[in-house]
Amino acid sequence: MSLLRKNLVLLGGLLVGVMGAVLVKYGNPANMGLCFVCFYRDIAGALGLHHNALVQYLRPEILGIFLGSFFSALTFRDFNPRGGSNPAIRFILGILIMVGGLIFLGCPIRAIYRLAGGDLSAVGGLLGIPFGAYLGLFFLTRGYNLGKARPLPRWVALIPVGFFVILLILLLIKIEWQTPYPYFSVKGPGSMHAPALLSLGLGVVAGVLFQRTRLCLAGGFRDIFLFNDQYLLKGFLGILLGALVANAALGLFKPAVVGPVAHGNFVANFLGMGLLGFAAILLGGCPMRQMVMTWEANFDSFIAILGMLAGAGLTHSLGLAASPAGVTMGGWAALALGYAAAFAIAYGFSLIRATVKGEA
């Protein structure tokens, strides 16, 4: 492998780090240049899956990532329609990702952005990711397997494309004619955003970068534990480095024990991100990677995305999501239930290999 190929992920990470700072400079909420948990939550809100008026917006970054990853996958022949590897369980794991992510208030990428913005409360979440990855791997190395995905007809791959084209049209209609639907926040984090075209454009760039580098925030620790392979973790470090430098340059680095749009409960941050990491390893990729794999025509990943949107709706409708005020009673209950469900799935699908010997 050439030196460039080996370090492409580092370069991609650096760019994503800088991009995050730029998006915040132009209007995104603090340390939220890109955040797959927060943005799925905002999209769920925009669609009316929850009615928290503070977090509703059709984040154009996600729609840009759709376009970027989709055309990148088509161009580089990674568009290979397949699915059918226990979609229902993947939907549930998607929900669990959002429960964990909305307790911490962010995805692994935002955890890095938060640290790079001087928010020390991110440390609990960042430590939670390897903890969750370790839990997942414990079962993965003991036979956990959701089953094989099989080839699908090409038209099936058009379903997620259609869904996201509709989101793009909804965004355009809203911007052009100020329609009541989709719902966009007028105050709170949902109302804070960079100009839509900038978000969309940088999203396209990020989509291509993510697709080409295979960056995966759950995979980074997984590969270290399993094979002592640092390739994916370099992407992690790239984002941190890029965001740190860009934040410092743009005057966005503000050291604080608890930063903006965050809370300082260490245990909740650790366990929340732990649940996200656990569920992500059981799915085979972090919330960002699920999006990119959707555009590589992996229908199971699309189901996981739908699970995350539903999870955001549930979490906010039932008052389970944390806020800068802290974690609710319901939030703690959901966290406990989330772990119970994740362990049950992990254990149950590890038994299968023991029973059906021979079937890989």
Partner 1 sequence: MSAPVIDCRGLSCPLPVIRVKEELDKGQPFSVIVDASVAVENISRLLGNRGVEFTVTPQGYESLIEVRS
Among 146, 261, 279, 345, binds partner 1 (CB under 8 A): 146
- DSSP letter, residue 29: P
Measured from the CB atom, the residue of 86 and 247 that comes closer to partner 1 is 86
Measured from the CB atom, the residue of 33 and 136 that comes closer to partner 1 is 136
Asked whether the beta carbons of 38 and 104 are under 8 A apart, the reply is no
Smallest distance, partner 1 to C-beta of residue 130, A: 15
Among 150, 154, 248, 337, binds partner 1 (CB under 8 A): 150
Question: How many Å is the Cα radius of gyration of the chain?
Answer: 19
Asked whether the beta carbons of 87 and 304 are under 8 A apart, the reply is no
Tokens 């997942």 map to which residue? 136
Q: Which part of the chain contacts partner 1 (CB under 8 A), choosing from 63-71, 140-148, 169-177, 255-263?
A: 140-148
Q: CA distances (Å), 51 to each of 78, 155, 314, 319, 331, in order?
A: 37, 34, 10, 11, 17
Among 140, 157, 206, 322, binds partner 1 (CB under 8 A): 140
Name 75's Cβ contacts closer than 8 Å, sequence gap at least 6.
none
Give the CB-side neighbour count of residue 273, counting CA atoms within 13 A.
27
Measured from the CB atom, the residue of 229 and 343 that comes closer to partner 1 is 229
* Binders of partner 1 in range 222-281 (CB under 8 A): 222-223, 226-229, 231
Smallest distance, partner 1 to C-beta of residue 284, A: 3
For residue 151, which phi and psi values (nearest 5 degrees)? -60, 145
Measured from the CB atom, the residue of 145 and 317 that comes closer to partner 1 is 145
> What is 215-232 written as a DSSP string?
--HHHHHHHHHHH---HH
Asked whether the beta carbons of 130 and 349 are under 8 A apart, the reply is no
Smallest distance, partner 1 to C-beta of residue 193, A: 31
Smallest distance, partner 1 to C-beta of residue 309, A: 21
* Binders of partner 1 in range 285-304 (CB under 8 A): 285, 296, 300
In the chain, which ranges are E strands?
Answer: 82-83, 150-151
Site string for partner 1, 81-110 (x = CB under 8 A): -x--x-------------------------
Asked whether the beta carbons of 52 and 318 are under 8 A apart, the reply is no
Q: Rounded to whole angstroms, how far apart are CA atoms 341 and 330?
A: 16
Give the CB-side neighbour count of residue 95, counting CA atoms within 13 A.
19
Count each helix (H run) and each strand (E run) in the chain, helices first.
14, 2
Give the Cα-Cα-Cα angle 8, 275, 24 (nearest 5 degrees). 50
Smallest distance, partner 1 to C-beta of residue 241, A: 22
Closest alpha carbon to 65 in 29, 25, 95, 107: 107
Measured from the CB atom, the residue of 93 and 239 that comes closer to partner 1 is 93
Q: Rounded to whole angstroms, how far apart are CA atoms 51 and 55?
A: 8
* Binders of partner 1 in range 59-78 (CB under 8 A): 76-78
Measured from the CB atom, the residue of 183 and 278 that comes closer to partner 1 is 278
Measured from the CB atom, the residue of 172 and 229 that comes closer to partner 1 is 229
Measured from the CB atom, the residue of 187 and 357 that comes closer to partner 1 is 357
Site string for partner 1, 199-218 (x = CB under 8 A): ---------------x-x--
Q: Binding to partner 1 by residue 350, rule CB under 8 A?
A: no
Q: Binding to partner 1 by residue 353, rule CB under 8 A?
A: no
Measured from the CB atom, the residue of 51 and 148 that comes closer to partner 1 is 148
Interface residue list for partner 1 (CB under 8 A)? 1, 76-78, 80, 82, 85, 140-141, 145-146, 148-150, 214, 216, 219, 222-223, 226-229, 231, 283-285, 296, 300, 360
